[in-house]
Amino acid sequence: MKAQLTEYIRKTINVTEAELSIILSYFKPLEVEKNELLLVYGQTSQRTFFVGNGCLRIFFITEEGHEATRYLAFENNFATAISSFISNEPSSEFIQASEPTTLLYISHEDFYHLLEIIPLWEKFYRNYLEKAYIHNTNRLMSFLTLDATERYKQLLEIQPNIVQRLPKKIVATYLNISQETLSRLKSKC
Amino acid sequence: MKAQLTEYIRKTINVTEAELSIILSYFKPLEVEKNELLLVYGQTSQRTFFVGNGCLRIFFITEEGHEATRYLAFENNFATAISSFISNEPSSEFIQASEPTTLLYISHEDFYHLLEIIPLWEKFYRNYLEKAYIHNTNRLMSFLTLDATERYKQLLEIQPNIVQRLPKKIVATYLNISQETLSRLKSKC
């Protein structure tokens, strides 16, 4: 799994072997079962996760008690409840494994320590935030500009693995539609 | 206006006088009239703006031809079409002055040049992205979890200046509701 993380890091920043080995030393392995929760509402997000295998889901619960999924991270992606991770305040979001998942994680403290000791880590983090920002803005725009059918078609085009790998229940919460609507769209599109 | 920008920068990073004066030298002043467009759909976002006085609005146009406002920047805030600024690809967003506005702007090229020559500028940019990320995620969550009345109440609580300073038409596009619904909410809340 550290080989996957190494490849991910090397794509973004031009670190020396020595820097890379310091960075990797702060990442710890973790295995979680399907449906296991890594963070719940009200806890502060103290870890950032790199998915080696499986899938992590970031979601929150609406006032009406429905789940709304903000982000799904498959292999070779980072994920956390970023707002809480940044602000060090309690999270509105949950983190859950949607499949049996193997991970590497780094603590908030170690992540910020790396920012102090390895200047290139700032660039890495900047890139992470840039990607997260663009992803979230695209999600926001899809809700503001597309109807349910259009959102489903866009998902099939851009992230087909979400529809292929995950149960209908989760796909519906990602599109913010009911499972019935999703079934109708699946048979139509 | 450079004094305002200096204060903003000093709150975030601990730059020397020499570094500060280099940073400031890359910002150019600009005055725009109410309703003037600084970026339109399809152009690449080549500038980041710091509002000295007035208000900038970032919006896009939905498939049905309605305006949807993503972000409103008043005095002492930065604004741009960030996704396009980051990716250097054509923008889906427009930038418009909602009031007569005085600005400082820095070009994309100079902004990234500062990242090369002033290491602390990475930290500044990181902070900028963190704030933008949190703001956008909160916006996304408000659309996923709140109905129109709740979104209006939240706006009154968190950013009352939007309701107080801007015309109803713009406030409606920020909440993604019709002007009629907004009028009803205004008389009710």
| pLDDT band at residue A146 under the 50/70/90 scheme | confident
B137: closest CA of chain A, how far (Å): 7
A177: closest CA of chain B, how far (Å): 10
| pLDDT band at residue B139 under the 50/70/90 scheme | confident
Cβ contacts of A82 on chain B, cutoff 8 Å: 133, 137
Task: Using the predicted structure, report yes or no on whether residue A86 has a pLDDT greater than 80.
Answer: yes
Instruction: Print the domain residue range for A26.
Output: 2-120
**Distance between CA B88 and CA A41 in Å, rounded?**
36
- B65: helix, strand or coil: coil
The answer to whether residues B8 and B50 touch, using CB atoms and an 8 Å cutoff, is yes
- B161: helix, strand or coil: helix
Helix and strand element counts for chain B (H, E) = 9, 8
Quick one: B171 and B121 in the same domain? Answer: no
- B34: helix, strand or coil: coil
Question: What does each C-alpha distance from A8 to A1, A101, A186 come to in angstroms?
Answer: 11, 18, 34
Residue A162 lies in a domain: no
- pTM confidence score: 0.86
Question: What does each C-alpha distance from B90 to A146, B73, B78, B112 come to in angstroms?
Answer: 20, 21, 20, 18
Tell me, what's the pLDDT at A64? 80
**Distance between CA B141 and CA A69 in Å, rounded?**
10
**Distance between CA B117 and CA A170 in Å, rounded?**
45
Quick one: B135 and B188 in the same domain? Answer: no
Question: For the sheet containing B47-53, what is the strand order?
Answer: B28-32, B101-107, B47-53, B78-79
Quick one: B154 and B96 in the same domain? Answer: no
Interchain pair A86, B62: CB under 8 A = no
Over residues A166-172, mean pLDDT: 95
> pLDDT digits over A100-121, tens only?
999 999 999 999 999 999 989 9
**Distance between CA A67 and CA A174 in Å, rounded?**
9
Domain of A76, CATH number, reads 2.60.120.10
Quick one: B46 and B134 in the same domain? Answer: yes
Quick one: B141 and B151 in the same domain? Answer: no
Contacts of A21 (CB under 8 A, 6+ apart): none
**Distance between CA A108 and CA A125 in Å, rounded?**
12
Q: Could you tell me the two tokens for A115?
A: 């920012």
| Among candidate residues A32, A77, A53, A34, the one with its CA nearest the CA of residue A170 | A34
Residue A173 lies in a domain: no
The answer to whether residues A168 and A179 touch, using CB atoms and an 8 Å cutoff, is yes
Task: Using the predicted structure, report yes or no on whether residue A144 has a pLDDT greater than 80.
Answer: no
Q: What's at B135, amino acid-wise? A: H
Contacts of A82 (CB under 8 A, 6+ apart): A45, A129, A132, B133, B137
* Residue where a domain terminates, one of B128, B145, B162: B145
Cβ contacts of B150 on chain A, cutoff 8 Å: 63
Interchain pair A68, B92: CB under 8 A = no
Quick one: B136 and B184 in the same domain? Answer: no
Which chain A residue's Cα is nearest to B176? A144
Cβ contacts of A45 on chain B, cutoff 8 Å: none
Tell me, what's the pLDDT at B66? 87
Which chain A residue's Cα is nearest to B142? A62
Q: How many domains does chain B have?
A: 2
End-to-end CA distance of chain A: 37
Quick one: B87 and B175 in the same domain? Answer: no
Residue A158 lies in a domain: no
Q: A31-54: b or e for each residue (b if 16 or more CB lie within 10 Å)?
A: ebeeeeebbeeebebbbbbbbbeb
The answer to whether residues A159 and A170 touch, using CB atoms and an 8 Å cutoff, is no
Cβ contacts of A129 on chain B, cutoff 8 Å: 126, 129-130, 133
Q: Write out the residues of chain B at the interface with chain A, using a CB-CB cutoff of 8 A.
A: 60, 62-63, 68, 70, 82-83, 86-87, 92, 119, 122-123, 125-126, 129-130, 132-134, 136-141, 143-146, 150, 176
> pLDDT digits over B25-73, tens only?
999 999 999 999 999 999 999 999 999 999 999 999 987 888 989 999 9
**Segment (H or E) for B102:** strand B101-107
Cα angle value A113/A119/A121 (rounded, 5°): 65
Quick one: B113 and B180 in the same domain? Answer: no
> pLDDT digits over B118-130, tens only?
989 999 999 999 9
Contacts of A41 (CB under 8 A, 6+ apart): A60, A61, A90, A91, A92, A93, A94
Quick one: B135 and B179 in the same domain? Answer: no
